[in-house]
Amino acid sequence: MKKYVYLVGAGAGDIDLLTLQAVNILKQADVILIDALVNEDIYQFCKSDVIKVNVGKRKGKHLKNQDEINALLIDYANKYDVVVRLKGGTPFVFGRGYEEVTALKKANFEPVIISGVSATTSVPEAFMIPLVDRNFNDSYRTITGHNMSKFNSIITNYHDRENLIIMMAIHNLKDIVNSLLQKNYPKDLPLAILSKGTTKEQSKIISTLEDISEKNEEFFLSVRELTPAIIFVGKTVSVSE
C-alpha cells in the first residue's frame, strides 16, 4: 500500500483563508516543509512536537533549491507517517508543485493535493478590485514578472478587455511598465501595486502606467520593500477608487 505525502496550499496570507481540509491535515502532521511567505500563525493548528523545516525561496535567498526540497520530502516521508509540504497560495500556481509530485511518484509515494486560496485572485479581491467586470473586461491574464525575456515573449500586445496580473515582479516594475508602454498599452491605464494582500499590513499604490514610468530610481527602490506584492494592470483598478 502506498504512503501519502500532502502538498497543501496555505493561501495568500490570512490564516482564515486556510481550507478546512488543510487545517485537518495540519493537525496530523509530523513534519512540515514550509515556504518563506507562509504565515507562521498556521502553527497553532499543528501538534506541539511537529518538525518545522523552512525551505523558503526568496529573490536571491534560496535556503534550499528545488532538488534539495524534493530529496527532503522523500527522506522525511521514509521516516514519518504524515509529511506536509506547505506552500504559499495553492500548489500548482507558480509553486513548482508538480515537480514535487513527480519526484514523490518516482519514489513510490502517493501525492495528495490540498488546494489553497490563490493570491492571484484573493489579493485583488482584498482590495475590492474585480478581476472581471462586464463593464470593463471579459478576461484576465496571470503571469510572473521575474524574467523579462519570458514576460516579453508572452505579453506581446494590448488587449482592450483584459486585465493583467503580474506576480513576483516588483523588482522589475520599471522594466515591466516600459515594456507595456512600448506594446501600446494606454498611458492612462490604471496600475495598482498590491502589497501583503489579505494581511493586516496590506497596502496599495494606485497610479497609471505613464505616472509610474516617470518615477525616479528612489521610488523603484522603495517599492521593493513592499514585497510580497502583486502588480495589477487594467481598467477595473479604477473601480476600487
Angle at 111 between CA 106 and CA 115, to 5 degrees: 140
C-alpha cell at 84: 506536509
User: Is 160 marked active-site?
Assistant: no
Pairing of strands 3-9, 83-87: parallel
Which residue, among 178, 162, 239, has the nearest Cα to 212 in the 3D structure? Answer: 178
Burial class (CB in 10 A: 0-12, 13-18, 19+), 152: middle
The answer to whether residues 206 and 158 touch, using CB atoms and an 8 Å cutoff, is no
Q: Which residues lie below 8 Å from residue 130, measured CB to CB, with a gap of 6+?
A: 124, 236, 239
Beta bridge partners of 142: 165
One of 3, 57, 64, 215 is an active-site residue; which one? 57
Grid cell of 165 as nine digits: 496580473
Give the Cα-Cα-Cα angle 36, 51, 9 (nearest 5 degrees): 45
Task: Give rounded-to-5 percent helix, strand, coil for the chain.
Answer: 35, 25, 40
Is 57 known to be catalytic?
yes
List the catalytic residues.
Answer: 35, 57
